[in-house]
Amino acid sequence: MAEDLCISNGGKEEKYRMLLPQIKCLIDGEDDLIANLANVAAALKETFHFFWVGFYLVKGEELVLAPFQGPVACTRIKKGRGVCGKAWERAEILVVPDVDAFPGHIACSSLSRSEIVLPLLRAKGEVWAVLDVDSENLNSFDEVDARFLQELCSYL
């Protein structure tokens, strides 16, 4: 596949349905994790124009910033802190309609208004990374995002 995306003009679900097979092809056969994470972040940003999209890798007792698209971000996050740290601690998807209402939210940018964080799991359920997506708008994420982004994370 060429390194160009075919992006749907339709709704959110249609965009995901068109994007996911392209991402699968893009990373299929590439064994470099950083390259794959970078391309996934770029594809999501280009398709949906999210405010911030990227990954944090579990390193010891912290999440450490990995490939992302958007403004500069927090470099390290402790387990259980903020939305990313809570998603890691609980090993579950967190959808936050209003980050200002989330106890302990870490504001890497005051422009972020809503967020979804998905843990990436090894076969035995151990979290090895999280996918973090932020929006400048309230209530940007829902079960459609959770379902398709979870599928995308399974490719990694």
In sign, the C-alpha dihedral spanning 128, 130, 32, 109 is negative
Provide the residue count of the chain.
156
The phi, psi pair for 32, rounded to 5°, reads -85, 115
**What does the block give as tokens for 19?**
């994007």
Domain-wise residue ranges, the chain: 12-154
The phi, psi pair for 134, rounded to 5°, reads -120, 150
In angstroms, the first-to-last Cα distance of the chain is 18
In the chain, what's the furthest Cα-to-Cα distance? 43
User: Selecting from 3.50.30.40, 3.30.450.40, 3.30.420.40, 2.60.120.10, what CATH number does the domain 12-154 have?
Assistant: 3.30.450.40
- Interval 22-49 mean pLDDT: 96
**Is residue 64 predicted with pLDDT exceeding 70?**
yes
Q: Would you state the pLDDT for residue 111?
A: 82
- Pick 3 or 18 by higher pLDDT: 18
**Rounded CA Rg of the chain:** 15
- Reported confidence tier of residue 1, pLDDT bands at 50, 70, 90: very low
**In degrees, to the nearest 5, what angle opens at C-alpha 60 toward C-alphas 156 and 89?**
70
- Interval 113-126 mean pLDDT: 94
**Residue 134 near residue 70, CB atoms below 8 Å:** yes
**Is residue 57 predicted with pLDDT exceeding 70?**
yes
- Interval 41-63 mean pLDDT: 97
